[in-house]
Each structure stands twice: as structure tokens, then as C-alpha cells.
Amino acid sequence: MTGMLASVENLAEALLVMEAGVDIIDLKSPSAGSLGALPLATVREVVEAVGGRLPVSATIGDLPMDPAQVFQAVESLAGTGVDYVKIGLFPAGDWRATVFGLTPLSAHRIRLVAVLFGDLSPGLAQIAELALAGFSAVMLDTLDKRGGSLTQVCSLGYLRDFVAEAKSYGMLCGLAGSLRQIDIPLLLTLGPDYLGFRGALCMRHNRTAGLDGKAVQAIRSVLHY
């Protein structure tokens, strides 16, 4: 069954989505970019409050693909106790050197999630390299949150191939990127492990606004029918 990933930015939101029955809590700051990072203290607070009842992921932020900078950020975030550390593969810098520079961390059982951006048309061959570097999961998101949902910037065939390629390497696979309730039935046919949401869960569907409990329940009811 495809699970629901809910992105939150503080403890109150984390407790709200946990009570609603989501499958994974994702920590990020929507006002700080597409994958904006939260303070480490906030991440630790949420991890401690969740207490292992649900997986928790968090992002290192919108960092350039600089191997040393990303390594340090991943190592620091992993120290908070999160289950998954998310790294966006942004266009600036050397993503291959950055990705393979993280292999020592994945070898120490730090579960790494690569986030690719569908509106940048990433080549699916990247997934094989991520698997070789020891990444546990890969997500397809959108970089420009004003450009429409993932289903509007990527063809259904591309999304199907993305999911199939990730699963062929035994990686967890997620789809996100301004997803709407109407996107869910189509995406479920592709069989991703998770669908990720932020804007659709917020008041006025504004990703930088607070969460709307009724919206969270509405998305969950479609996913967990």
C-alpha cells in the first residue's frame, strides 16, 4: 500500500499529523526553499516526541552540490536521530562527487534519501548511481512550487518509469511536488511507496501557512480508503 508522507515544520504540526494517522513525518521549512531545513534543535524535539512510533525524515536544506558542505550537513542531521536524511540534488555543483562522498555515512546505516526534481527532467540513470552510492530511497519532487504539481510537469510514462527504476534497485520510492487530492488516484496506479504532501494539507493550500486538520484528514482518507 502507498503511504502518506506529511511535511511539517514544528512539533505541533508533527503531533497533528501523527494523530491523523500519516505514515511518515517529514521535517522541513517551506518558507526557506523547496527543501528548506529546520534548526537541529527543532528536529531533535520532534524525534524525541514521536519516540519511534513513526518514521521521521528531515532535509538538510537547499544546499549546493558541494561534497564537504553536504557531508557535514548530513552528518549533523543524522545525529538528531531521524530515520531518514533527505538530500536535494540541486543543479549547482558536482552532484556525483557529492553523492559518492556520502557513501561512508550510508555504510554506517544512515539512511539517505535523494530528492530529484521532476521539473528539471532528471535522467533515470541517476537512480543506478544513487543505489551504488548506498542511498536507501529516492523521491521525485518539484523545484519550482509555482509551476504546478508533479503530474503537470512530468508525463505519466516518465513517472511510471521513475517508480519502476527505483524499485528495480530495491530502493524506497516517493512522489511529491505540490500534489493535490485529485492527483492521488492516478499516482496510486504507479505503486510508489509514499506520496508526499505539504500545500494540500495547509490552510488555503498555501504551503507556508499552517496545517489544516480537515485537509490532512481528507488526503489521508483518499490514500487509506
**Mind telling me the catalytic residues?**
28, 86
Give me the amino acid identity at 106: S
Q: 3-class DSSP state for residue 34?
A: coil
**Contact between 74 and 85 (Cβ < 8 Å):** yes
* Cα radius of gyration rounded to whole Å, the chain: 16
CA dist list (Å): 44 to 8, 40, 77, 78 = 14, 6, 9, 10
C-alpha cell at 59: 532535509
- Give the Cα separation of 111 and 57 in Å (integer): 9
Q: How far is Cα 112 from Cα 87, in angstroms, rounded to an integer?
A: 7
C-alpha cell of residue 169: 534497485
